[in-house]
Structures are given as C-alpha cells and as structure tokens.
Chains A and B, each alone.
Chain A
Amino acid sequence: MDGKYDIAAIRREFPILDRKVNGFPLVYLDSAASSQKPRTVIETQREYLTHFHSNIHRGVHTLATQATEAFEGARETIKEHFNAAENAEIIFTAGATDGINLVAGTWGRANLTASSTVLITRLEHHSNIVPWQILASEIGFKIEIIEIFPEGSIDLEDYNAKLALAPSLVCFSHVSNTLGTINEAKLLTSLAHNAGAVVMVDGSQAAPHMNVDLQDINCDFYVASGHKMYGPTGIGFLYGKRALLDEMPPWRGGGEMISSVSFDVPTTFNVPPYKFEAGTPHISGAIALGAAIKWMESVGLDNIAAHELALTKYAHEKLLQIEGLRIYGTADNKAGVVSFLVDGTHPSDLGTLLDQLGVAVRTGHHCTEPLMDWYKIPGTVRASFGAYNTFEEIDALVAALERAIKMLK
C-alpha cells in the first residue's frame, strides 16, 4: 500500500486501540456506528474544560470571550473543510439525526402540504425516514421510495420516474451505512433541482471517509455527526443554504435564538445560524469536533479514503474465501463498510462469538429495517473501517469468523 500512510503513527493517536477485550487485543471494526477518538480530540476537550470553559456569546469577561472564539472558530473550521459559502450556513446540532429533525420541523413544516411529495431512497437510515413519516402523519404529504439495484446502487431510471412526480423534497444518504454505497450526490442533486425539488443529504457516513465539497454538490441541506468523524458524541452540524435558512421559521425556542423578547410586542428572532441554536450548545463538543476535522485534514481525507478502499477490497477478497459467505452491498463505488451473512448462522451468534475473540462488529438491521426487509434477511454482520484499521485486523476478523462458524455449525 501507499508508503506515505503511516498506520503505526495513526494508531498511536488512538489510546483506546491499546486495550484488550476478553483477553484479546481489540480489533475495532465498528467505526460506521462510531469512530474512536484521537488524542488531539481528547486533549482539546480536556484543555477547554480545564482552562477556558464559560458560557458563550453573552459574556464580557475573558473566559466568555475565549470560549466564544473557540466555539466560533470550530464553526469556521467546519465551513472551510466542507466548503460552505459562509459561517452562517453551519448550524451546530446534536448530530445528524437532530439536523434532519430540524429541517423537518422548520423547512418541512413551513413548505410541505397535503399535496406534496417527498422522495427518500430505500437505503436510508431510520433517521432519514422516521422524521418524514412523523411529519407526513401530521401534514398528509406522500412519501415515495427511490428504488435501488440489488448490489446497492440507486436505480437512476426509477429516480427519474419518481422525480417526474414533482417532489418538493428529495432526501438521500451520501454513503449508505449498511451497504457502503457512495451515491453520486452531485448528479442526484442536479437532477432533483431540475425537477424543482429541494435536496437534503445525510452525510453521516461520508464526512469521515472523503472530502466533501458542499458548494460543488450544491445540495440545499447536508447533515453530519461529530462522533462518526473522530469527534465527540452529542455534536454535529446542519448545513443549509443561506437563502433557505433566512426564510425558515425558528425551531426550538429559547435563549440565543432571539433578537428581542417582549410580553407586549411580538418577539423577534436572531439571524442564522443563531436562530436555530436555542439554549447553551455543546461547547466543548463543538470545539473538539473542530480538532477532529483538523486531525482528519492532517492525515488527508484522500489518504484516508484510499486506505479504507484498500482495506475494503482486501476484506471482500478474504471474506469471500469463507464458504457460504454472502456480501450485501457490492456497488462499484463504495466506502469502508462490508455487510455479510454466512449460510446456516445467525448474525447475532457470529457477533457474540467474535466479541469473545476481541473483534467488535455490528450485527442486526443497522437501523435500516426497510432495506433488510427488501433483501428478506433479518440483518447482517457489518465490519466497518476507519483511518486506524489495518490489514492484519481483517485477517484477525477472518480467523475469528472461521473459528465462530466452526463452533456454530
């Protein structure tokens, strides 16, 4: 592989990788659920809480100023990294789920009617399904499903047919969390725009694995979670185009999101992004997320993507040598996720035995029940990769699997 990719140095940044699980060295293959944290993220959070903590935006004292600068600096880091047009387009949320609920609760509530149609793909995570179902049950709009091919890529013919229904909104994930398919976000966005739809992209699985250029994709909304991109839990962001954010009504009410509050005249609201950031945010989380993004940049997202692609190819090759093993998600363009089943075994049994051997994988439906139902399977075993995973760990996975299968059969 690429000699410039210093995997040993990268692994040294992640203290948790040194631990043992059930007496075996941890083989962490569950980064799609949540990635581990490099020292710089842990240190940044500790440093902030030790020396700089204060509430932001409202104070005149030194700590308030320093905390605000760090918090807004993280917003700037996100804006730069994802190439938004301005800082006001980056709204801090609790994570991708929170961001999608924000879009549903404000833009959706203000713009969707009983005669509207919303398109979502069959690949979506529950977080990009359920907020729309809840809103649809209230407003009465129709949800149409964009079909996929069995290997896991979007059926463009079906997509175009569904776009002919003149949807108000199109939602798709940039990368599928279960199958790993990388969707052509730019193409899908431009087709949807031509049909007059607003586009919302769930970038949870893309942000940790590739460079994402929001102005190039040209989508209207994009969400991501900090904890999947080497940052803390409880923090993420929503990107929205400024013109849309200006028009959108506020969501949660509270401090920070107002311009002026009165009992006598109508309360007026702040400008984006603050209009959507009611209450004290996860300040340390936001700042540490900034550190996580800088860490990814220091390694280089293109390098991480190349490393993970090599791992994925290697995993496919090795896993397919196991008798009776079927891989779900074999699209040409896929990120570091391998979902599989082994004939005659249940995914939860495999997961339990792999855990006994120190190998952490995810088993079950991965919050994509409609997708599992479509494949007519109860779930899969999913191995997913991060910047710190090694080829030896895939060998360890394969060895553990062989042992587990032998026990189960």
Chain B
Amino acid sequence: MGNMKLLEARQNEIIEEFSMFGDWMEKYEHIIEMGKDLNPLVDIDKTEDNLIRGCQSRVWLTAQKDDVGDVVFSADSDAIITKGLVALMVRVLSGAKPEDIANVDLHFLEDIGLNTHLSPTRSNGLASMVKQMKMYGLVFSAHS
C-alpha cells in the first residue's frame, strides 16, 4: 500500500524550509549547500547507463528496492546547483513506495519559486531526471 501523505509531508517540509529565506541569494546558497552535502556517487556508478544527459550539466541516477519494498535513489551531478536540486528530489522521493513515486504531483519546486529549473527547456537534466525517477517507480511497482 502506498502512503502519498509521506511524500506530501516531505514536500511541505521543504516549502516551509525555503519560506525562511528572504531573497534569491539565500535560496541559492541553501541549494548549493545541499549540493555539497549530497553524498557523491562512487565512480563505478557514474556509468553511461546511469547518466541523464542535459545540455548543460550531467546528472547520474541509480535506484534500487530495499527490504521493505521502498525505492532508494542515489544521484549526483557535475554542476553544484543542479546537484542541490537533485538532492531535493532525492529527499522527497527516496525511501518511498514505487507506486507513490510514479503518481506523485511534485509541486514543491513551483511553491518555492524554482520551477523554471524543471522546465524541459532549461536543459539541466533535472526534468529528465524526474521523468526517470517516476519511470523507476512505475517499473518497480509493476514488479512488486
């Protein structure tokens, strides 16, 4: 059984966190911090298969199912702002049920005023990454 409330709570937590920032600089500084704090993928995981090509920066994503059937994501990027945004996505979606990942409405980026980063024209690989994460959710829920 899914628990969409969990993903909603995680999104709300991020929205709350970002509401404390007065201007764009603080917001970006926070994203950069999160990018720095995200554990980088080990080189063996930075394979062509795990690479999500954006026009500007590269994003790597891996996914596996844990003992209780949740999907665990790990991700990395060569650009630090992208990596911070990637960290936010991992924070929301990792350790959740596959069917919830497949169906979730990701509204938090819009709510914190960073939705332009999700636009497919932004070509930072983030939009493709979200698509790929949902795809993993779909595939893993079909196998459960």
Q: Does A225 contact B (CB under 8 A)?
A: no
Please classify the interface of chain A as helix (H, G, I), strand (E, B), loop, or mixed, using the class held by over half of its residues.
helix
Choose from B25, B29, B57 the contact partner of A346 (Cβ within 8 Å): B57
Q: Is B56 touching A347 in the complex (CB atoms < 8 A)? A: yes
The winner among B28, B78, B124 for most chain A CB atoms within 10 A is B28
Q: Does A167 contact B (CB under 8 A)?
A: no
Q: Is A348 touching B81 in the complex (CB atoms < 8 A)? A: yes
Min CB distance, A349 to chain B, in Å? 5
Residues of A within 8 Å of B72, CB to CB, are none
Q: Is A346 touching B28 in the complex (CB atoms < 8 A)? A: no
Q: Is A348 touching B28 in the complex (CB atoms < 8 A)? A: no
State the CA gap A347–B58 with chains docked (Å).
12
Min CB distance, A347 to chain B, in Å? 7
Q: Is B78 touching A346 in the complex (CB atoms < 8 A)? A: yes
Q: Is B81 touching A352 in the complex (CB atoms < 8 A)? A: yes
State the CA gap A364–B28 with chains docked (Å).
20
Contacts A348-B57, A351-B56, A379-B56 hold; do A407 and B29 have CB atoms under 8 A apart?
yes
Q: Does B94 contact A (CB under 8 A)?
A: no
Min CB distance, A230 to chain B, in Å? 25
State the CA gap A352–B32 with chains docked (Å).
12
Q: Can you name the residue of chain A whose Cβ is closest to the Cβ of B123? A: A364
Q: Can you name the residue of chain B whose Cβ is closest to the Cβ of A353? A: B28
Residues of B within 8 Å of A339, CB to CB, are none
State the CA gap A345–B79 with chains docked (Å).
8
Q: Can you name the residue of chain A whose Cβ is closest to the Cβ of B79? A: A346
Q: Can you name the residue of chain B whose Cβ is closest to the Cβ of A347? A: B56
How many of chain A's residues have a CB under 8 angstroms from any CB in B?
16
Residues of B within 8 Å of A353, CB to CB, are 28, 81
Q: Can you name the residue of chain A whose Cβ is closest to the Cβ of B124? A: A348
For chain A, residues 339 to 388, give those with C-beta under 8 angstroms from any C-beta of chain B: 345-349, 351-353, 356, 363-364, 378-379
For chain B, residues 76 to 133, give those with C-beta under 8 angstroms from any C-beta of chain A: 78-82, 124
Q: Is A348 touching B29 in the complex (CB atoms < 8 A)? A: no
Of the A-B pairs whose beta carbons lie under 8 Å apart in the complex, a sample of 16, sorted by A's number, is A345-B80, A346-B78, A346-B79, A348-B56, A348-B57, A348-B81, A349-B79, A349-B81, A353-B28, A353-B81, A356-B25, A356-B28, A364-B55, A378-B57, A378-B78, A407-B29
State the CA gap A311–B67 with chains docked (Å).
61
Q: Is A346 touching B80 in the complex (CB atoms < 8 A)? A: yes
State the CA gap A378–B28 with chains docked (Å).
23
Min CB distance, B81 to chain A, in Å? 5
